[in-house]
Amino acid sequence: MTRLDRMLATVVALTGAIAVLEVFSDMGRPVRPLVVLPFLAIGPGYAVVLLLGLRDRVAEATLAVALSIAIDMAVAMVMLYAGAWSPRFAVLAIASLSTVCVAAAFPLRRSVLP
């Protein structure tokens, strides 16, 4: 990982943690949308993309958004169809997954997935 990758990964993990805190503490507008929406739109996907080591910022950003949509939707749909619909716990699950991916990506070097 480059220094920028590490910085962005840390931002993703921190934003996820803040999003969880805001959602569970019922913090309202205007701060909550400014943290939660960007995190859900980019965070989980970027955490996964870090594992791919793509070396192309455009591709990384594109895949980060696409995978974030896929992850957010998968978590929400599983909860809904399981009869356990809870946006709060969905954010918790997504933030946890993101943190695990970031933690897994940190020891990786670019050369692992050439």
Partner 1 sequence: MHIVEAPTAAEQDTPSSAPSNAIARFALPLTLLGVAVAVWIRSLPQIEIRHVNDLGLLSVLPVGTLAAMALLTVSFCIVLLSRRPNELLLLIHVVALIVMLYAITTFVEQEPRFAVTWRHAGISQYVLDTGRVDPDIDAYFNWPGFFILGALLTKAAALKSVLSMAAWAPLVYNLMYLGPLLMICRTSSDDPRIVWFALWLFYATDWIGQDYFSPQGLAYFLYLVIIAIVLRWFPGTTRAPGRRWMRGRLRGAVRRFLDRLDRPDPGAVASAEKVLPARRAALALVLIAVFAALVPMHQLTPFAVLAAVATLVLVNRSSFRSLPVLFAVLIGTWISFMAVSYFAGHSADVTGQAGNVHETLNQNLGRRLQGSSLHLIVVYTRIGLTACLWVLAAYGARRWFRRRGSVLPYAALAIAPFPIILLQPYGGEILLRVYLFSLPFMVVLASAAMFGRPRTSPVVLLVVALAFLPAFLVARYGNEKMDYFTHGEVEAVDHLYAAAPPGSSLFALQGNLPWKFKGYASYRYNRVTPSIQWERITGRPQTAVRGLADLMGARPVPAFLIVTRSQAAAAEMTEGVAASTVSRFEDAIASSPRFETIYRNRDARVFMLRRTGAAR
Which residues here bind partner 1, judged by CB under 8 A? 19, 23, 27-29, 32-33, 36-37, 40, 48, 51-53, 58-59, 61-63, 65-67, 69-70, 72-74, 76-77, 80, 83, 85, 87-88, 90-91, 112-114
Question: C-beta of 99: minimal distance to partner 1 in Å?
Answer: 17
Q: Give the alpha-carbon dihedral of 37, 42, 48, 53, to 10 degrees.
A: -160
Q: To the nearest whole angstrom, how small is the minimum distance from the Cβ of residue 10 to partner 1?
A: 22
Burial class of residue 48 in the structure, from the number of CB atoms within 10 Å of its CB (0-12 exposed, 13-18 middle, 19+ buried): buried
Closest contact distance (angstroms) between CB of 33 and partner 1 is 4
Q: Which stretches of 26-83 are DSSP H helices?
A: 31-49, 57-81
Q: Which amino acid is at 102?
A: V
C-beta of 6 vs 62, nearer to partner 1 = 62
